[in-house]
Chains A and B, each alone.
Chain A
Amino acid sequence: MAKTIEELRAELEKALSEITGAADVEKVNIAFLGKKGYVTDMMKTMKDLSAEEKKTFGQVVNTFKQEATKRISERMEQLKAKELEAEINAVPEFDLSIPAEPAKGSYHPITLVQRECEKIFKSMGFTVEDYSEIVTDYECFESLNIPKDHPARDMQDTYYLDNGQLLKTQTSAAQNAIYGKYKDALEKEGKPIKAIFPGRCFRNEATDACHENTFFQMEGVMVDKDISISNLIFFMKTMLSEVFKKDIKVRLRPGFFPFVEPGFELDISCLICGGTGCPSCKHSGWLELCPCGMIHPEVLKAGGIDPEVYTGFAFGLGLTRLAMMKYGVKDIRDLNSGNLKCLSQFPDDE
């Protein structure tokens, strides 16, 4: 005996209220609206009814069918919403108070300072040159107008090798080769020589917190017709202001280096006090930063360049010193120690 509409309606409500998960809704759907469901059963009973009754009954069943569809889908939405809510609630609050540990690599601080300097000079049209660490007496001294009896050649300062070569004591050792490389372009095409050459240098001395036998410098030269002292001061001031990212005052004092004439010691206004005097500049307001000068005519000549036609300036920046200033490294030996506790602290430039 088929159930009455009222019975079905009551049963539907009961079934819907009993189910707890969206997956059960489908079962209810099948039981009531499926091919073999209650509604179908009810429709089957219609064949025994009169045409009039069929019409009325059909309308009643259809109404129920629509109503059941609606109720089931409502219940479905309801349960889905509940499940989503449960899913959301199931995600715990993550503990951001646990310290982050980003796995990161590191550059050597010299690399970072060197790159920064290179960027500045490249932007001014300088080429970046690489040079060997082992050089000849000619490259390191002779071609740089350092005469045989100059104290710089004394055994205690230079690491000599048993084949007669030496570990370069200064990046200037590359000057001669660089003039050789570019002199044709200078003379024949009128291209000025503008080059920097960062590199590792060596001095035979005892090491302590302030002294290293292995350190980095960066030499720069510019050679053309009519390069002047005025240009030298301009370039040094501009370059150093870029390096330290502030307007730097510079001053030149006479300084003696065999490969320049005139030679200068360049001081910059103290980075800490700006020139008013503080302990870090020994109250002078100035820091001695780098030697520079007009390239000695003999040095140009040794490089195959006619000093009567061309002049140039050269300077040497201590990259190791810059890195120590920039990052506040107190013990110079940390830089060559390979100690990752020190060296892993430099993830990137900028």
Chain B
Amino acid sequence: MFLSMNWIGDFVDLSGLDKLSLIKQFSLSTAEVENDIFMKGADISGVVVAEILSCEPHPASKKLHLLKVDCGEGEPVDVVCGAPNARAGIKTAFAKVGAKLGEIDIAPRDLAGFTSYGMCCSEKELGISEDHGGIMELDESLANGTDLKDVFAIDDIIFEVDNKSLTNRPDLWGHYGIAREFAVLANRPLKPLPTADLSQYKDLPPVDIKVEDPLCYRYTGIQVENITKNVSPVNMKIRLNYCGMRSINLLADLTNYLMLEMGQPMHAFDARKVESIRVKRFAEPFKFTTLDGVERDIDPNTLMICNGDTPVAIAGIMGGLDSEIVADTTRLTLESATFDAASIRKSSVRLSHRTDASARYEKSLDPEMTATAAARLIGLLQEIDPGVKVVSSLTDVYPFHYPERVLRFDKHFVDRYTGIEISNDRIVKTLTALGFGVTNEGDDFTVTVPSWRATKDVTIKADIIEEITRIYGYDNFAVNTAKAPLYPIRPDTEKTVEDRIKDILVKHFRLHEVHSYIWAYNDEYKGLGIEVEDNVRLANASNPNIEVLRRSMIPNQLCQVSENSQFDSDFGVFEIGRVVEGLNDKGLCDEHKKLGVTLFSKTKSLETLYYELRDMLALLTADILHRDITFKPMQATHSYQHPKNLNAVICGGQTLGEIGVVYPTVARRIDKKAAVVYAEIDVPAFAAVKPEEIVYHEVGKFPEMTIDLNFLANTFLPIRTAIELLRCPIIRKIGVIDTYQDENGKSITVRIVFGHDERTLTGEEVKAVTDKLIADLAKANIQLKM
């Protein structure tokens, strides 16, 4: 919203004060002012009142005229002018040689063979309005040579307030409310709004108004006729234009002017079309054409203004085409009303039609304004067009009153909230200046909230704190650290585990951490041949590619790996993120935090890569939990899982997740030759496993004995089981040092380390153990390879 310092100056005398620093203070105490401040008129000089003494046609041009102009400097000046309304006898705005109009410097200039010493100006050329239809025609009583800036308020400071920062301040949607803030900041009095005394018309017949819906809080109407003027005064046009509104005609301008001045939207109906005003909703939807010519769908929630049963306006949003004021309108009905804010906002969202009026109504306007606004408008109208006649009483239907708000607090409350000392006097002074009724006894305060702040803005004591402190100035606050007792902070286990997982994967295994979205990537899944599995859905996504929440980290990760297939021949990515596994028994999303890891390699075999990933998981558990992991085969149930080598990852008796190979066709679409393996781990489950205590083992004084045995076997599992079954106390460690495949089948070289804490082992006792093992395995049909 653009604001005019001149307009504000109508209501508070700011003379002698630095306006720019006041605007800055306003930004810090009230609402955000945009950086660009416009010094209107600063680029206009040398424009004066001048009289056209004669006007002859230009011999070589149909459009141009040759003028003699008296600009108050004795000798008439020769001017070439193309305006259609240029004629002898009128006074106009004249830019003399040497004048400046924005970027233009006025200098003698040849136009079709004649030299023009200056330029007659249109309103647009002076930045006063958008009117470029002809040169300005000024009051004949003005003396030639008078600087135009002495006639019209061309010089002004215009600043813009971010509308978002006014969301909660319905009182600041017009200049009068803004002026109240400036008055407080400048410590100067706020002047009352000049209004017409409408009580003189109380005996005239009322306007027929009936409010039939609680969504209308107040409806005030008055009728006038005999309006003879159609064009707004220049100063009014200037203000409208500076504040971003086009001048249309006197009545439209007046309602807009009132909206910009008081924040009260108003509407003027042709009284011939609107005789009995009814405010109501309709049970059935229908179509309605607004005054911008657009046909709109009205639903049963939309509040309408009607003439009897015929809708004539969408309440608080826009009038209808049929009841608009037209050229032959002589009598009009003025509406000044307040409606339910939420209803107006919803209707305007539903209609996708936001207007200056609806933007204000949805902020919860003060209903107390309607009658004052009507009186202000009538006053202005009578001033501009003295022949205008009021033909009804001010008719006021006021079914809903906001309750009066009285708040009580004490000095201690203010001290506690602010942390600084603000005196009782200052509290009283600030609140009084803002329009609050204040009584103060000792340290106790009773505050009555003014109507313009009581619709939603100021409702509780904490709101009063804001009023006191923003005017006090946050820059003036002494800043202090808090006084609070000290306690140790125990870091959250899960969070610590998460950080360590990331560290190990990045530092040790050189993986890359990525982020992906929480939903399935429909299009990308299709590209890879991954099925989008049914799950909780987004109810209102605007993008058709976003539809279903992900059940697993892996499919999105595979999409990302696929995108990166040219990044390197070998790489791995991981993410700790959320998945949703349907709904739980309370109907809420079953959300899980998971670690997803995917490895990609064009140089390693699938088997090697798989073991690499296995070793990563093993290091995670060994490092963080001090525990080994084991695996248990699983059935594939998802389209991206290879049916073989899918294993549950088990640690400390808990299943933590799975490790697997990517389904061959999916892997081939990621890259024709690459091996792709993945693992997915439930992070809270991982963090819930209690780490094994670290137990120190004295290093033995006696030498260990290492025996390597080579068995013909397909897997290590039966060998390990057989060794474990020996329950042999002198076996310290078992491992696989080699696997080998030849024409005789697969062989596995097992290394067993023997040792004893108290003596050196003999060859015989070790041989007894290995012989037993070999014999046991032979029974299970696993032969020692010679």
Q: How many angstroms from the CA of A244 to the CA of B557 in the assembled complex?
A: 33
Contacts of A127 in B (CB 8 A): 489, 492
Contacts of A129 in B (CB 8 A): 492
Assess whether A255 is in contact with B518, with CB atoms less than 8 Å apart: no
Q: Is B475 an interface residue (CB 8 A)?
A: yes
For window 91-141 of A, CB contacts with B under 8 Å fall at 103-108, 110-111, 115, 122, 125-130, 132-134, 136
Contacts A154-B349, A338-B563 given; does A264 touch B474 at CB 8 Å: yes
Q: Is A252 an interface residue (CB 8 A)?
A: yes
Query: What is the 8 Å Cβ interface bit string for chain B, positions 444-477, against chain A (1 contact, 0 not)?
Result: 0000000000000000111101100110001101
Q: Is A340 an interface residue (CB 8 A)?
A: yes
Q: Tell me the nearest residue of chain A to B167, going by C-beta.
A: A256
Q: Is B231 an interface residue (CB 8 A)?
A: no
Assess whether B538 is in contact with A256, with CB atoms less than 8 Å apart: no
Contacts A108-B515, A130-B495, A227-B482 given; does A204 touch B419 at CB 8 Å: no
Stretch at the interface among B505-513, B688-696, B760-768: B505-513
Assess whether B417 is in contact with A233, with CB atoms less than 8 Å apart: no
Contacts of B499 in A (CB 8 A): 115
Assess whether A202 is in contact with B518, with CB atoms less than 8 Å apart: yes
Assess whether A214 is in contact with B512, with CB atoms less than 8 Å apart: no
Q: Which of B30, B470, B482, B487 is in CB contact (< 8 Å) with A262? A: B470
Contacts A154-B349, A229-B477 given; does A192 touch B588 at CB 8 Å: no
Contacts of B537 in A (CB 8 A): 161-162
Assess whether B540 is in contact with A104, with CB atoms less than 8 Å apart: no
For window 703-726 of B, CB contacts with A under 8 Å fall at none
Assess whether B477 is in contact with A163, with CB atoms less than 8 Å apart: no
Could you jot down 16 A-B contacts, CB within 8 Å? A134-B591, A158-B540, A161-B538, A162-B538, A163-B588, A194-B484, A226-B419, A226-B483, A229-B420, A229-B474, A230-B420, A230-B479, A253-B474, A261-B463, A296-B462, A337-B563
Extra contacts besides A108-B513, A164-B587, A254-B29 (12): CB < 8 Å: A108-B575, A122-B489, A125-B487, A161-B539, A161-B549, A229-B465, A265-B165, A294-B417, A335-B515, A337-B560, A338-B516, A341-B567
Chain B count of residues within 8 A CB distance of the other chain:
89
Assess whether A111 is in contact with B480, with CB atoms less than 8 Å apart: no
Q: Is B486 an interface residue (CB 8 A)?
A: yes
Contacts A163-B589, A256-B167, A262-B465 given; does A233 touch B479 at CB 8 Å: yes
Q: Tell me the nearest residue of chain A to B466, going by C-beta.
A: A262
Sort chain A's interface into a size bin. Answer: 35 or more
Assess whether A339 is in contact with B469, with CB atoms less than 8 Å apart: no
Assess whether B417 is in contact with A228, with CB atoms less than 8 Å apart: yes
Interface centre among A228, A235, A335 (most CB of B within 10 A): A228
Assess whether A234 is in contact with B515, with CB atoms less than 8 Å apart: no
Q: Which of B169, B549, B564 is in CB contact (< 8 Å) with A338? A: B564
* Min CB gap A56→B, angstroms: 58
Contacts of B60 in A (CB 8 A): none
Which of B's residues lie within 8 Å of A, judged by CB?
Answer: 27-32, 35, 165, 167-169, 341-342, 345-346, 349, 416-420, 460-463, 465-466, 469-470, 474-475, 477-487, 489, 491-492, 494-495, 499, 502, 505-507, 509-518, 536-543, 549, 557, 559-560, 563-564, 567-568, 571, 573, 575, 578, 580, 583, 587-589, 591, 593
Interface centre among A115, A262, A297, A347 (most CB of B within 10 A): A262
Assess whether B540 is in contact with A204, with CB atoms less than 8 Å apart: yes
Q: How many angstroms from the CA of A27 to the CA of B470 in the assembled complex?
A: 102
Contacts of A155 in B (CB 8 A): 540
Contacts A161-B537, A163-B536 given; does A105 touch B510 at CB 8 Å: yes
Assess whether B502 is in contact with A230, with CB atoms less than 8 Å apart: no
Contacts of B541 in A (CB 8 A): 159, 204
Q: Is A160 an interface residue (CB 8 A)?
A: yes
Contacts of A40 in B (CB 8 A): none
For window 173-216 of A, CB contacts with B under 8 Å fall at 190-192, 194, 200, 202, 204, 206, 214
* Min CB gap A191→B, angstroms: 5
Q: Which of B480, B507, B510, B589 is in CB contact (< 8 Å) with A231? A: B480
Q: Which of B346, B492, B538, B543 is in CB contact (< 8 Å) with A128? A: B492
Q: Is A251 an interface residue (CB 8 A)?
A: yes
Q: Tell me the nearest residue of chain B to A256, going by C-beta.
A: B168
Assess whether B479 is in contact with A237, with CB atoms less than 8 Å apart: yes
Q: How many angstroms from the CA of A343 to the CA of B568 in the assembled complex?
A: 14
Q: How many angstroms from the CA of A237 to the CA of B487 in the assembled complex?
A: 23
Contacts A105-B506, A105-B510, A254-B30 given; does A311 touch B416 at CB 8 Å: yes
Contacts A160-B540, A161-B539 given; does A130 touch B513 at CB 8 Å: no
Q: Which 5 A-B pairs have the closest CB atoms?
A: A228-B419, A230-B419, A338-B560, A262-B466, A149-B342
Q: How many angstroms from the CA of A298 to the CA of B580 in the assembled complex?
A: 32
Assess whether B512 is in contact with A340, with CB atoms less than 8 Å apart: yes
Assess whether A343 is in contact with B512, with CB atoms less than 8 Å apart: yes
Assess whether A192 is in contact with B484, with CB atoms less than 8 Å apart: yes
Assess whether B477 is in contact with A110, with CB atoms less than 8 Å apart: no
Q: Tell me the nearest residue of chain B to A238, going by C-beta.
A: B481
Query: What is the 8 Å Cβ interface bit string for chain A, positions 214-246, against chain B (1 contact, 0 not)?
Result: 100000001010111111011101100000000
Q: Is A282 an interface residue (CB 8 A)?
A: yes
* Min CB gap A152→B, angstroms: 10
Contacts of B559 in A (CB 8 A): 338
